[in-house]
Amino acid sequence: MAAPGVSNSEDAGVTPKEPTAIISTKYGDIVIKFRSDIAPKHVENFIALAKKGFYDKTIFHRVIPGFMIQGGDPNTKGSNAAAYGQGGPGYQIKAEFNKVSHKRGIVSMARSNDPNSAGSQFFIVVADSTFLDGKYTVFGEVVKGMDVADKIVKLPRDRRDLPNERVEMTVKIVE
């Protein structure tokens, strides 16, 4: 119990403030609120990677209108587009599937066919995609900047869904 006159977030029924991520692009900023209550390891991983600059200068390498934008591949710092979508941090995270639905604005981890293969790549859902529910780990949601995601997803792209122009990001964690 908190001493009189001292605030205690547990006693007040308030959870401690979650950190947020600001993804900055030439089209504006996307602010993500993390959900460590449902995917603590994925949130911890994303924050750790962002703090060491892992995401800086990577691009949104996959954009599919009516679905999502995807980024977080370190291979996209280079010019070999054939390798885009294949990179990661050198390790994988065990899935933390949860009951949060993949509605517009949800941030989820990309992975290969192996459910436990997420690493650094993530995607932002631009249109409800409930067919992903229970198959990908939701770890956050956009609280500001969906207009930016909407601009990015509409960019002209090639047959592999790679935008014709580079949309680099920097990611800053605000605690």
Residue-wise pLDDT for 142-174, tens only, equals 999 999 999 999 999 999 999 999 999 999 999
Encode 135-160: b = buried (16+ Cβ within 10 Å), e = exposed. Answer: ebbbbbbbeebbebbebbbebebeee
Q: Are 21 and 46 in contact (CB under 8 A)?
A: yes
Residue 16: what pLDDT? 62
- For residues 174 and 27, give the distance between their C-alpha atoms in angstroms, rounded to a whole number: 20
Residue 15: what pLDDT? 53
**C-alpha closest to that of 50 among 34, 63, 62:** 34
- DSSP code of residue 163: B
Residues of the chain with pLDDT under 70: 1-16
CATH code of 20-174, in short, is: 2.40.100.10
Question: 169: helix, coil or strand?
Answer: strand
Q: Are 32 and 143 in contact (CB under 8 A)?
A: yes
Residue 133: what pLDDT? 98
Delimit the domains of the chain by residue range.
20-174
- For residues 121 and 61, give the distance between their C-alpha atoms in angstroms, rounded to a whole number: 10
Residue 13: what pLDDT? 45
Q: Are 116 and 92 in contact (CB under 8 A)?
A: yes
Residue 17: what pLDDT? 79
pTM for this structure?
Answer: 0.90
Encode 76-86: b = buried (16+ Cβ within 10 Å), e = exposed. Answer: beeeeeeebbe
**C-alpha closest to that of 58 among 87, 16, 35:** 87
Residue 12: what pLDDT? 44
